[in-house]
Chain A
Amino acid sequence: MSVVKLSNVDIAITRGGIKIVEKISFEIQSGQILGLVGESGSGKTTVSMALLGHTRKGAVIESGSITIDGHEIVDASDSQLRSLRGGTIAYVPQDPGTALNPGLRISKQILESLEKHQPDVGHEVHMARVREILTEVALPSDEDFLKRYPHQLSGGQQQRVAIAIAFACRPKVIVCDEPTTGLDVTTQSKVLATIRALCREHGVAALYVSHDLAVVSELADNVAVMYAGRIVESGTRDEIFFNSIHPYTRRLIRALPDIAGRNQILGISGYAPMPWDRPSGCAFAPRCADAQSLCSQSVPEITKISNSHNVNCHRHKDSTKIVATARVEREIVSSSTQALLGIDGLNGFYGSRQVLFDTNIHIQPGECVALVGESGSGKTTLSRCIGGLHDDYEGQISYFGNALGKHALERKKEERRDIQYIFQSPYASINPRRPIGATISRQLELFYGMKGSAADARIKELLDLVSLPHAIVTSFPDQLSGGERQRVAIARALAAEPKLLVCDEITSALDVSVQASVIETLKNLQESTSVALLFVTHNLALTRSIANRVAVMRKGTIVEYGGINDVFNSPKAEYTNRLLQHTPTLK
């Protein structure tokens, strides 16, 4: 029996009537997990909230029907909704750090759902259930733990509390909105196992919203792929991951970093449109290699491929199979030449707390070294030391054999020019009040005294290198997408003609398809300019697509350092092995 049934749901912004999502239909059986996959702006969160009868301010469910366990949600009254929410259908938020109330003890936050939805039961019974559910999500249930506030828990524990809240009243349906986004891979895999076990055991129907295809492939029974407010393809897990038809689904799967190292990562050019500037016709047409004139004229209807497999594409009969390109092995640059950058016996501190322990890394000219670690491993601190942004350390960083000053201000202009830093967030690292051209030309003037038409010509070259259109020079950052901004940040760094680019988690704020094309850009750059890269990331799988060598960090120590294939094929450290095992993959 379908516990969740959506048919032709349209959700629109009240003012102007712009549709955020259109014609959403799907069903979920009890005990099954539907993965709802999409990139930012696809409307997946809007759909997930609609299941609870919630729309963000200024939006409304315009038409269609949503039934949860036989109850119609769309025209339900507030009190009907309140009795369903938390009881019949529960929600697991994306970021428990902000979704748990900082002022209430965790026992109270679990208890209040029970008190609301089972008012006839006594306090002792409720407390027993609180303890039971905490045990089910693998948390302690002693008095001391019950009395804690959210800030006294780790991120993984907070997410478990949020799951406990959701499952406390034994709901029939559960909606998970990217609940593992902020977690490390080892924690993520445990949290996913918990969700899977609870759904199976108690026959709960789950909607699991995520941008991460690998996670969905490990968890979901069925998958729906959203693009620009519509479901473009849906089917069983195997149909979507191994027999996909829609060009978007196919490209999206190819954009996933392949931890097994067989396939080259492949990006999708362009970016997903926002609700207010979606093209007419098929919204994916402008990015689609198979697009024909029909595609930009009319929106494709649903085509049934099998009982479970549906696709919305004009070219469903003859869309191009995306053949995986074999990954090109990256040679390890011989270390006999003098290292471009040498880090020897570095101990880093925050005041009295030591965060880096005796780290040694040598980077050869033209190679890419990946620095991998979970949050708190010290990888960002190390890269900030290299960039001259963190000077509380002992030990030495040398550049072609010469010791570098600790702080960027103590370094020579040439040294600052040769080591460029790209930050994680392209939203915070570019001056919002300057046009893109001025942001890049500042570097040219500072390091090379280049002005006027010479600078303009050079800016065009740089924009070509990062695949941005020339017209962008007059744009301001807020007119660009995240991927475009990150390319601007790369172009700005390249303007200095650096010998080393320090890339600090530069793709973690980007969509998978955009991440893949940024990686492609960086790779091409390395081939054409022979710049060396220090690629800092939490995503182990991603390093296989770009790095020659990889250093794995844990708690401030490098636990493994070696050639990319050696580390992936025969990891020496137990920790690397654990990371490899817990990284979700398409299997």
Chain B
Amino acid sequence: MKKIRDFFNQGGLVLFAVGRILAGIPIIIALTVLVFMATQALPGDAAVSYLANTATPERLAAIRDQLNLDDPLWVQYFSWASDALRLDFGMTLTGETSVSAILGERIQNTLILMASSGIIAIPLSIVIGTYAAVRRGKIFDNVSSLLTLVLAALPEFVVAIFVVFLLATNVFQIFPAISFVEPGTLAWADPMSLVLPSLTLILAVTPYVSRIMRGSMIEVMESEYIQMARLKGLSERTVILRHALPNAIAPTIQVIALQLAWLAGGVVVVEAVFAYPGIGTVMIDSVKARDLPIVQAITLMIAALYVILNILADIGTILSTPRLRTKYARKNDTSDVFAAMDGDQ
């Protein structure tokens, strides 16, 4: 924590973060263009696809009017995108409610699910990966390698069904198979309903992260500074926890961020299996109902999440790597360059 505090004091991270967020803005704008274009690529227009067989000229006209479909394309894009950037995604096609009102609660539920899986999955993978690397070639390593390979190969809905089979229906009946959350309350009001969906996501994420962690740790354990630490007479515990682990985590952070971002997409299927009231179930419902404003809003949010997580990962990597941390924090960064050039003088 002290390191982090020092760092903020020097103002390096703030500058870096501001830079990265500024660089994120064009990406988000590009995303709005892509999402908008994707909707345009559908056959017919939004009104036709929404109404499908029930289309009458009057209803088509009403919907087109609601979505401003008669305006030129670029006008449509700008009005949609400028609203979207203010988190106003307009009204749903069904009429009365706004997209934001429907999504608000659902997004919180999804974030709760992602957070509860991430909080367990990340430390768990680091522990498994580290232990497997330290016990390389021994039984724990071999078993965990096999298990993580099998789990990584299974699609998450298969894992979900297996988890339901094992813990909710046929073998044990401990947790509810369906996550029923009262409308108007949030998911943590009923923690039991969170267990199985979280478990499924944990089982989906842990294999990747622990395998990367294992590889990173093995590389570090073979480095000369680890040999040096052992030749200082330090205990194996100190060698692993103080000398190896911090250096092995830094390269894993990027993978963790990508996996968390993947969670945002993977959550769609898992929520559907457990009927969990998050954005995943809304997504599937609105795709079925061809309710384009909702689909657009969710797609854009998942994409934005990728961008945010990547920025966080970059910041995390810098914080955990002294070489980078000092580079960004340094004020007079020429002194070291010259010290290095002058040898010992």
Contacts and interface: CB of A to CB of B under 8 A. Distances in A.
Contacts of A99: 224-225, 227-228
A520 interface: no
B233 A84 contact: yes
Contacts of B343: 154-156, 183-184, 186-187, 374
A101 interface: yes
Given A93-B228, A103-B247, A103-B322, A117 B233 contact: yes
A102 to B, nearest CB: 6
Contact of B231 (A52, A101, A153): A52
Given A157-B344, A186-B344, A376-B341, A82 B323 contact: no
Nearest to A355: B341
A246 interface: no
A81 B228 CA distance: 14
B336 interface: yes
B224 A85 contact: no
A149 B233 contact: no
Interface string A300-344: 000000000000000000000000000000000000000000000
B229 interface: yes
Contacts of B331: none
Given A99-B225, A101-B225, A54 B344 contact: no
B323 A85 contact: no
Interface in B39-79: none
A86 interface: yes
B234 A112 contact: yes
Given A149-B322, A184-B343, A113 B228 contact: no
A151 interface: yes
A149 B323 contact: yes
Nearest to B243: A101
A157 B243 contact: no
Contacts of B224: 93, 95, 98-99
Nearest to B225: A101
B336 to A, nearest CB: 5
Nearest to B342: A154
Contacts of B230: 54, 85
Contacts of A91: 228, 231
A297 interface: no
Contacts of B233: 81-87, 113, 116-117
B338 to A, nearest CB: 9
Interface string A54-93: 1000000000000000000000000001111111001101
Nearest to B229: A101
Contact of B232 (A103, A113, A151, A152): A113
Contacts of A103: 243, 246-247, 321-322
B235 interface: yes
A152 B326 contact: yes
Interface string B225-264: 1011111111100100011001100000000000000000
Contacts of A153: 339-340
Given A101-B243, A116-B233, A149-B326, A187 B344 contact: yes
A90 B232 CA distance: 7
A154 B340 contact: yes
B173 interface: no
A93 B321 CA distance: 23
A165 interface: yes
B142 interface: no
B323 to A, nearest CB: 5
A98 B223 contact: yes
A152 B344 contact: no
Contacts of B321: 102-103
Contacts of B234: 82, 86, 112, 116
Given A98-B225, A103-B247, A187-B343, A112 B232 contact: yes
Interface centre among A103, A184, A555 (most CB of B within 10 A): A103
Contacts of A183: 343
Given A151-B322, A155-B343, A86 B232 contact: yes
A190 interface: yes
Interface centre among B230, B231, B246 (most CB of A within 10 A): B231
A363 interface: no
Interface string B275-311: 0000000000000000000000000000000000000
Nearest to B324: A151
Interface residues of B, number: 28
Nearest to A152: B336
Contacts of A165: 232
Interface in A457-512: none
B242 A54 contact: no
A81 B238 CA distance: 16
Contacts of A555: 341
A393 B71 CA distance: 57
Contacts of A116: 232-235, 238
B323 A102 contact: yes
A116 B242 CA distance: 13
B176 to A, nearest CB: 45
A551 interface: no
B163 to A, nearest CB: 38
Contacts of B242: 104, 112
A155 B344 CA distance: 8
Given A99-B224, A103-B322, A85 B344 contact: no
A85 B231 CA distance: 6
A385 to B, nearest CB: 19
A20 interface: no
Interface in A157-203: 157, 165, 183-184, 186-187, 190
B229 to A, nearest CB: 7
A541 interface: no
Contacts of A455: none
Nearest to B343: A187
B330 to A, nearest CB: 9
A558 interface: no
A82 B235 contact: yes
Nearest to B232: A86
B308 to A, nearest CB: 27
B232 A85 contact: yes
Contacts of B323: 102, 149, 151
A242 to B, nearest CB: 32
B343 to A, nearest CB: 4
Contact of B225 (A100, A155, A187): A100
A153 B336 CA distance: 7
Interface in A132-164: 149, 151-157
Contacts of A81: 233
Nearest to A101: B225
A101 B247 contact: yes
Nearest to B327: A151
B238 A112 contact: yes
Contacts of A186: 343-344
A354 to B, nearest CB: 13
B276 to A, nearest CB: 40
Contacts of A104: 242-243
Contacts of A113: 232-233
Contacts of B247: 101-103
A555 B322 CA distance: 28
Q: Which of B233, B243, B342 has the most CB of A within 10 A?
A: B233
3 shortest interchain CB distances as A-B pairs: A85-B233, A86-B233, A86-B232
Given A52-B231, A103-B247, A186-B344, 11 more contacts: A54-B227, A54-B230, A83-B233, A90-B231, A91-B228, A98-B223, A104-B243, A149-B323, A151-B322, A165-B232, A555-B341
Interface of B: 223-225, 227-235, 238, 242-243, 246-247, 321-323, 326, 336, 339-344
26 contacts: A52-B231, A81-B233, A82-B234, A82-B235, A84-B233, A85-B231, A85-B232, A85-B233, A90-B232, A91-B231, A95-B224, A99-B227, A100-B228, A102-B322, A104-B243, A112-B232, A112-B242, A116-B233, A149-B323, A151-B323, A153-B340, A154-B339, A154-B341, A186-B343, A187-B344, A374-B343
